């Protein structure tokens, strides 16, 4: 039987402000428990929230980048519920009047571009953390995270496969980092995804959705949605019904499990927070923020294809992160053959980074050093093959390309008299092969190239060698 | 000395006729004598007060004194004061020592005032008689069978009994003006946003406003000069040029247009209160004012509107008292839900619970539009009544409370009767306007009557002028209870 999958994502992006959204306490990660919880964060009697303009600025930036409407007036509301790590007994969030409305994110899956529409994005504060270990039957509360600014980005249910959901999440992740509004650190919880998943008959009414909470890696996002789709289809096909529910993904068992069903869900009793005035954003402020927008990934991709002649796929890989794109552009600014640069950055650089499990920011070979190596290929000092050996040495910290080529004596032999002498020797040492070749066995040419490379320890200039061989073997 | 004005005390301090330490000791002594009867203070800390007095004396000797330097001021126990128990009249906060100062407390400290102690109040400022306090009711110094009014009843009784030369209060629906009226003193609730709410424990955030309570309008002006001012830690605090609220005190009242709302002299108003208020209005005519009739037709809606909005905000504001981080935690619980339930059931009194339940109800899914949204719309109509009236007059006058102080326990079983005692004051909070009460005589039972003066936004200096001119012509404000 045929099923259609419907996915919508809610992403919580932690905004990169130094202080919290409603207090002056630091947002830095990793401090001792409660060391970064001030009177406002602890919700002492009598304290009041004051909105951090930096958080609003980041929301505006996001709204402009996705082509959304930035609301001139939005309202902070209280979402009321009791939980030990929610100090005020309510979370300050935006409910019916969010700061960002609409917008879209383009995604590319299997070479096909699709636009995922955004419903809204709103500002809110994060809660603290409950620590259930280490306290022997008690629960510890760490309020360092309480009050950290979040932008909750809600998509329309426009995705129809786990791959599309991952592509959307990656694109969004890349975008918030381009905009420098979120550090994107998923392990530390700076970028968390909730996925709303349902299935339906093609063309039929929407199925009942279940929400998978708190997915903190792209891999888990994909696995969780895949499992959830299978589970929903199995349930429906065996005659069951889907109950609306919130579920958690158990990454060890690769399963989703219901946390609470919506019937027992809270009535959050939202109402406008009387401690905060409505957020008014002037045209001038939007304009000012607009001037700080960097070149966005989509614009970069288009430029890479038109200016550098790269394929859409290559342009997509190179612009997948702001840092990788910057690295590539620095290499191109020194070594102008963009295709060669792209191949090296996507091939050797990315390959070695992946193997080492590190980010481009930590790459031991600077963009300038890589360009230096490419220059030596370009001017014929070394071959592409030798260059890979030099690259490895550079990765291992042996220095710049020129120094390594010098120290290891890897300079290509382009001296034609030297090459001629070597070729002469090979011809005289292999009379039968020469005879066969001259009798028409063209394939033997590779044998002579191999012999010459062996004799020069791979340093012969390949083009020149081939020229000389052809000439001499012709007799 | 106990009946001396702030200006008088200030002069004595400046002339070194008395030191702040001596003055503070005198008042502490009087508090010690009268408090067992009146229960106006919940916390006194003589050492802390005297430490501040010593600092004040040093300021005076070095010539850095202002009008409040060395003056003992009683602080309503709703203001957080560093190192002081700050209970808000509740068992829930009966063990809470504040680690920080409210903006108002900072202002008084900077002015060199002495914190004389924390005054009793209705629990979380919810009440009109001071009977909801966890620490027991305050007695009215004019008649200890009577309530002092609420919620700032401790502050009002303290000033009336001359246990303190001045005090602070907060007013959400009349909590400065009504106890001022019932205790025969002067009190002003400024325009919403004039005094920072930072460190003032929230009851209903969109209505709460701090203000001074004292013997006279002249004293109120000095106190308001210290309390008012922009504070960036309160987003509803108004950023305005500081002003001197005493600047217009001596202006003559000739030509003043006084609006009399007919709705304030209708059914429900005691004859003796009406008589005293009418006499005060006649006095104003003698001072050159003219009387204009105005109408506030939506006043009748103010009690139902208030009892939707204030509990709604309170139900959320009081959620933080969950026994997790500070305050009262029940000794009996097996799990988290029980800890919440028992801590809140044991930590809050009946009136607070009633309002949390009402507030939770009106914000619930399916009821929000019918109650909360509707009340917000009516709130705007109530504000519009005032705006229209102020096109015809400079100030509005009427009774502060429909009767003089009632007896302790008299309205205890009937919350609606209790709520009705705020009928004249609540609309002012809903509109965000400034309002004050001054004593204008006594009722048949010998208990004080208050005149309410309502001004337009930011007209505090004018209102204080209007009150001061009356107090120059009469002596009601100088009368002291026999205690």
CA–CA min distance A80, chain B (Å):
7
Given the residues B5, B133, B151, B389, the one annotated as active site: B151
Residue B196 is among the residues annotated as catalytic for this protein: no
Instruction: Report the complex ipTM.
Output: 0.96
Residue B412 confidence (pLDDT) above 80: no
Report the pLDDT value the prediction gives residue B278, as an integer from 0 to 100.
Answer: 98
Residues of A in contact with B365 (CB under 8 A): 267, 269
Does any CB of chain B come closer than 8 Å to the CB of residue A137?
Answer: no
Residue A216 corresponds to which tokens in the numbers above?
């903190």
Does any CB of chain B come closer than 8 Å to the CB of residue A271?
Answer: yes
Nearest CA in chain B to A88: B320
Please name the residue that has the structure tokens 């020129």: A402
Pick the CATH number of B6-255 from 3.90.1300.10, 3.40.50.1100, 1.10.600.10, 3.40.50.1820: 3.90.1300.10
Q: Do B236 and A51 touch (CB under 8 A)?
A: no
Nearest CA in chain B to A276: B235
Report the pLDDT value the prediction gives residue A79, as an integer from 0 to 100.
Answer: 97
Q: Do A43 and B235 touch (CB under 8 A)?
A: no
Nearest CA in chain B to A91: B316
Q: Which of B322, B327, B368, B373 to mutate to test the interface with A (most CBs of A within 10 A)?
A: B322
Question: CB count, 10 Å around CB of A340?
Answer: 16
Distance CA B72, CA B77 (A): 15
Average pLDDT in the A278-295 region?
Answer: 97
Mean pLDDT of chain B: 97
Nearest CA in chain B to A80: B316
Residue A399 confidence (pLDDT) above 80: yes
**A223-267 residue pLDDT tens:** 999 999 999 999 999 999 999 999 999 989 988 888 765 445 579
Question: CB count, 10 Å around CB of A337?
Answer: 14
Q: Do A46 and B198 touch (CB under 8 A)?
A: yes
Query: pLDDT band at residue A471, thresholds of 50, 70 and 90?
Result: confident
Average pLDDT in the A420-436 region?
Answer: 89
Q: Do A82 and B340 touch (CB under 8 A)?
A: yes
Residue B151 is among the residues annotated as catalytic for this protein: yes
Report the pLDDT value the prediction gives residue A264, as an integer from 0 to 100.
Answer: 54
* Proportion of chain B above pLDDT 90, given as a percent: 96
CA–CA min distance B324, chain A (Å):
7
Q: Which of B84, B197, B235 to mutate to test the interface with A (most CBs of A within 10 A)?
A: B235
Query: pLDDT band at residue B362, thresholds of 50, 70 and 90?
Result: very high
Q: Do B198 and A47 touch (CB under 8 A)?
A: yes
Backbone angles phi and psi of A474, in degrees to 5: -65, -20
Which residue among B199, B205, B318 sits closest to A274, beta carbon to beta carbon? B205
CA–CA min distance B356, chain A (Å):
13
Residue B10 is among the residues annotated as catalytic for this protein: no
Nearest CA in chain B to A139: B336
Average pLDDT in the B72-97 region?
Answer: 98
Structure-model confidence comparison of residues B420 and A88, the more confident one = A88
Residue A124 corresponds to which tokens in the numbers above?
């809110």
**B466-478 residue pLDDT tens:** 999 999 999 999 9
Distance CA B117, CA A239 (A): 71
CA–CA min distance B309, chain A (Å):
11
Structure-model confidence comparison of residues A265 and B449, the more confident one = B449
CB pairs under 8 A between A and B: 96
Q: Do A45 and B88 touch (CB under 8 A)?
A: yes
Paired with A210 in beta bridges are: A197, A245
* Proportion of chain A above pLDDT 90, given as a percent: 72
Average pLDDT in the A286-291 region?
Answer: 97
Mean pLDDT of chain A: 93
Does any CB of chain B come closer than 8 Å to the CB of residue A132?
Answer: no
**A268-278 residue pLDDT tens:** 999 999 999 99
Report the pLDDT value the prediction gives residue A261, as an integer from 0 to 100.
Answer: 54
Report the pLDDT value the prediction gives residue B76, as an integer from 0 to 100.
Answer: 98
Residues of B in contact with A50 (CB under 8 A): 232-235
Which residue among B206, B234, B319 sits closest to A48, beta carbon to beta carbon? B234
Distance from the first to the final alpha carbon of chain A: 71
Distance from the first to the final alpha carbon of chain B: 16
Residue A358 confidence (pLDDT) above 70: yes
Report the pLDDT value the prediction gives residue A410, as an integer from 0 to 100.
Answer: 82
Report the pLDDT value the prediction gives residue A137, as an integer from 0 to 100.
Answer: 81
Q: Do B80 and A80 touch (CB under 8 A)?
A: no
Q: Which of B319, B327, B335, B376 to mutate to test the interface with A (most CBs of A within 10 A)?
A: B319
Nearest CA in chain B to A140: B324
Q: Find all residues with CB under 8 Å of B393, minimum gap 6, and list them.
A: B257, B258, B259, B292, B294
List domains and CATH numbers for chain A. Answer: 4-289 (no CATH), 297-408 (no CATH), 416-474 (1.10.10.410)
Report the pLDDT value the prediction gives residue A242, as an integer from 0 to 100.
Answer: 94
Residue A465 confidence (pLDDT) above 70: yes
SS (H, E, C) chain A: CCCEEEEEEEEEEECCCCECCCCCCECCCCCCCCCCCCHHHHCCCCCCCCCCHHHHHHHHHHHHHCCCEECCEECEEEEECCCCCCCCCEEEEECCCCCEECCEEEEEECCEEEEEEEEEEEEEECCCEEECCCCCCCCEEECCCCCCEEEEEEECCCECCHHHHHHHHHHHHHHHHHCCCCCCCCCCCCEEEEEEEEEECCCCCCCCCEEEEEECCHHHHHHHHHHHHHHHHHHHHCCCCCCCEEEEEECCCCEEEEEEEHHHCCCCCCEECCCCCCEECCHHHHHHHHCCCCCCHHHHHHHHHHHHCCCHHHHHHHCCCHHHHHHHHHHHHHCCCHHHHHHHHHHHHHHHHHHHCCCHHHCCCCHHHHHHHHHHHHCCCCCHHHHHHHHHHHHCCCCCHHHHHHHHCCCCECCHHHHHHHHHHHHHHCHHHHHHHHCCCHHHHHHHHHHHHHHCCCCECHHHHHHHHHHHHCC
Average pLDDT in the A107-116 region?
Answer: 90
Distance CA B146, CA B406 (A): 6
**B53-64 residue pLDDT tens:** 999 999 999 999
Distance CA A377, CA A390 (A): 11
Q: Using beta carbons and an 8 Å cutoff, which residues of B are at the interface with A?
A: 79-80, 86, 88, 93, 96, 98-100, 102, 197-202, 204-206, 232-236, 312-313, 315-316, 318-320, 322, 324-326, 336, 340, 360, 363-365, 368, 372
Residue B220 confidence (pLDDT) above 70: yes
Residues of A in contact with B336 (CB under 8 A): 84
Residue B196 corresponds to which tokens in the numbers above?
């920072």
């Amino acid at each position: 039987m045929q099923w259609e999958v419907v996915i919508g994502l809610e992403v919580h992006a932690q905004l990169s402000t130094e202080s919290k959204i409603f207090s002056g306490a630091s947002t830095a990660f990793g401090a001792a428990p409660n060391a970064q919880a001030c009177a406002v964060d602890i919700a002492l009697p009598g304290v009041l929230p004051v909105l951090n303009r930096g958080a609003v600025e980041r929301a505006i930036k996001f709204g402009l980048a996705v082509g959304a409407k930035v609301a001139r007036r939005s309202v902070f509301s209280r979402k009321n519920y009791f939980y030990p790590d929610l100090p005020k007994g309510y979370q300050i969030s935006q409910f019916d009047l969010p700061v960002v409305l609409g917008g879209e994110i383009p995604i590319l899956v299997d070479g096909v571009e699709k636009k995922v529409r955004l419903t809204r994005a709103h500002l809110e504060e994060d809660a603290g953390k409950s620590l259930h270990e280490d306290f022997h039957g008690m629960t510890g509360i760490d309020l360092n995270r309480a009050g950290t600014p979040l932008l909750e980005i809600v998509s329309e249910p426009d995705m129809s496969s786990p791959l599309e959901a991952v592509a959307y999440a990656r694109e969004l992740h890349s975008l918030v980092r381009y905009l420098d509004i979120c550090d994107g650190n998923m392990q530390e919880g700076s970028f968390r995804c909730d996925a709303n998943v349902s299935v339906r008959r093609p063309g039929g009414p929407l199925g009942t959705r279940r929400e998978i909470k708190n997915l903190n890696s792209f891999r888990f996002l994909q696995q969780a949605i895949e499992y959830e789709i299978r589970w929903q289809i199995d349930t429906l096909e065996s005659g069951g019904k889907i109950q609306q529910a919130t579920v958690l993904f158990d990454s060890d068992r690769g399963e989703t499990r219901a946390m609470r069903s919506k019937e027992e869900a809270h009535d959050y009793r939202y109402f406008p927070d009387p401690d905060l005035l409505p957020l008014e954003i002037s045209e001038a402020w939007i304009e000012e923020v607009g001037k700080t927008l960097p070149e966005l990934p989509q614009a970069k991709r288009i430029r890479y294809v038109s200016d550098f002649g790269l394929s859409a796929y290559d342009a997509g890989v190179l612009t997948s992160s702001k840092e990788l794109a910057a690295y590539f552009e620095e290499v191109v600014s020194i070594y102008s053959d963009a295709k060669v640069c792209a191949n090296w950055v996507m091939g050797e650089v990315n390959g070695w980074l992946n193997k080492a499990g590190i980010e481009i920011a930590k790459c031991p070979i600077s963009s300038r050093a890589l360009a230096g190596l490419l220059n030596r290929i370009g001017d014929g000092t070394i071959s592409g093959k030798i260059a890979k050996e030099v690259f490895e040495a550079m990765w291992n910290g042996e220095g710049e390309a020129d120094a390594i080529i010098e120290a290891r004596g890897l300079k290509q032999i382009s001296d034609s008299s030297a090459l001629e002498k070597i070729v002469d020797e090979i011809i005289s040492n292999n009379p039968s092969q020469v005879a066969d070749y001259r009798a028409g066995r063209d394939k033997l040419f590779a044998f002579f190239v191999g012999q010459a490379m062996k004799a020069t320890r791979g340093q012969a200039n390949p083009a020149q060698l081939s020229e000389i061989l052809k000439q001499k073997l012709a007799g | 000395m106990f009946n001396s004005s702030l200006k008088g005390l200030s002069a004595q301090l400046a002339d070194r006729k008395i030191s702040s330490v001596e003055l503070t000791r005198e008042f502490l002594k009087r508090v010690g004598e009268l408090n067992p009867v009146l229960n106006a203070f919940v916390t006194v800390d003589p050492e802390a007060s005297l430490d501040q007095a010593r600092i004040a004396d040093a300021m005076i000797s070095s010539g850095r004194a202002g009008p409040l330097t060395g003056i003992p001021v009683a602080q309503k126990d709703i203001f957080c004061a560093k190192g002081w128990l700050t209970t808000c009249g509740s068992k829930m906060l009966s063990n809470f020592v504040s680690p920080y100062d409210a903006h108002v407390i900072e202002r008084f400290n900077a002015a060199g005032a002495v914190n004389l102690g924390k005054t009793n109040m209705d629990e979380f400022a919810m009440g009109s008689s001071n009977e909801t306090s966890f620490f027991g009711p305050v007695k009215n110094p004019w008649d200890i069978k009577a309530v002092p009014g609420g919620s700032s009843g401790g502050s009002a009784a303290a000033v009336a009994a001359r246990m303190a030369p001045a005090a602070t209060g907060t007013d959400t629906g009349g909590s400065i003006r009504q106890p001022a009226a019932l205790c025969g003193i002067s009190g002003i609730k400024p325009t919403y946003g004039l005094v920072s709410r930072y460190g003032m424990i929230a009851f209903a955030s969109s209505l709460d406003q701090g203000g001074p309570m004292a013997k006279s309008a002249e004293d109120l002006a000095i106190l308001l000069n210290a309390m008012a001012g922009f504070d960036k830690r309160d987003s509803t605090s108004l950023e305005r040029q500081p002003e001197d609220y005493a600047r217009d005190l001596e202006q003559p009242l000739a030509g003043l247009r006084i609006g009399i709302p007919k709705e304030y002299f209708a059914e429900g108003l005691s004859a003796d209160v009406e008589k005293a208020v009418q006499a005060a209005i006649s006095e104003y005519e003698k001072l050159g004012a003219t009387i204009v009739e105005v109408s506030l037709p939506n006043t009748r809606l103010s009690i139902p509107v208030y009892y939707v909005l204030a509990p709604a905000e309170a139900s959320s504001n009081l959620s933080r008292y969950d026994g997790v981080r500070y305050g009262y935690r029940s000794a009996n619980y097996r799990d988290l839900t029980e800890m919440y339930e028992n801590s809140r059931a044991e930590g809050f009194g009946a009136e607070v619970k009633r309002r949390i339940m009402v507030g939770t109800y009106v914000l619930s899914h399916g009821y929000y539009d019918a109650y909360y949204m509707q009340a917000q719309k009516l709130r705007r109509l109530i504000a519009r009544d005032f705006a229209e009236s102020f096109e015809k007059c400079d100030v509005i006058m009427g009774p502060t409370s429909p009767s003089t102080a009632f007896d302790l326990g008299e309205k205890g079983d009937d919350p609606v009767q209790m709520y009705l005692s705020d009928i004249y004051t609540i609309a002012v909070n809903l509109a965000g306007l400034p309002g004050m009460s001054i004593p204008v005589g006594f009722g048949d039972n010998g208990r004080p009557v208050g005149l309410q003066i309502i001004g337009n936004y930011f007209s505090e200096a004018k209102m204080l002028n209007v009150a001061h001119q009356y107090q120059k012509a009469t002596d009601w404000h100088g009368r002291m209870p026999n205690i």
